[in-house]
Amino acid sequence: MMADTTVNLTAVLVAAVSSMVVGFLWYSQLLFGKKWMKLIGMTEGHMEAANAGMAKPYTMSFVGSLVMAYVLGLVISLTNAVNWQAGAMTAFWMWLGFVATTGANEYIYTVKPKPWTLYLINQGNILVTLLVMGAIVATWA
């Protein structure tokens, strides 16, 4: 039997939007954008061409963020995390136990090895995203 859980859907929506903001900043020229582009072999010209057709990927990414925020909200509800610190800590353990470990497989079991710096940049984005989401969802629980 599943415990009674409630998730604030407004918090889920705000958390999903926050993930887009974190990603925009994370991969911008202000933070890791230049290094990330170099590691994946993308040039400014590639980026400009890719930006023209980004509506579908951004939409799919936002839907994924909604799912992630909702599921994180369920876990936060189950653990009775009711402040931003507890929400962020719950998010951290979810990242460490599930995201960081399974994400590492992409780098371990690949025919063409990827640099671990790329793993750290990508996983750092997901970690910060989850921390912010956890803080938002727990605070609004």
Residues in the chain, overall count: 141
The model's confidence at residue 46, banded by pLDDT at 50, 70 and 90, is: low
Q: How big is the CA angle at 32 (ends 42 and 16), to the nearest 5 degrees?
A: 100
* CA-atom Rg of the chain in angstroms: 16
Residues 6+ apart with CB under 8 A from 118: 36, 39, 40, 107
Which stretches of 4-83 are DSSP H helices?
9-26, 33-40, 44-51, 55-78
The residue extents of the domains of the chain are 9-139
pLDDT at 111: 79
Encode pLDDT of 47-93 as tens digits.
666 666 778 889 999 999 999 999 999 999 999 999 999 999 999 99
Straight-line distance from the first to the last Cα atom of the chain, in angstroms, rounded to the nearest whole number: 22
Looking at residue 61, the DSSP 8-state letter turns out to be: H
Q: pLDDT value at position 1? A: 45
79: helix, strand or coil: coil
Would the pLDDT of 5 be above 90?
no
Question: Would you state the structure tokens that stand for residue 92, as one six-digit string?
Answer: 């951290």
**Per-residue confidence band for 106, with pLDDT thresholds at 50, 70 and 90:** confident
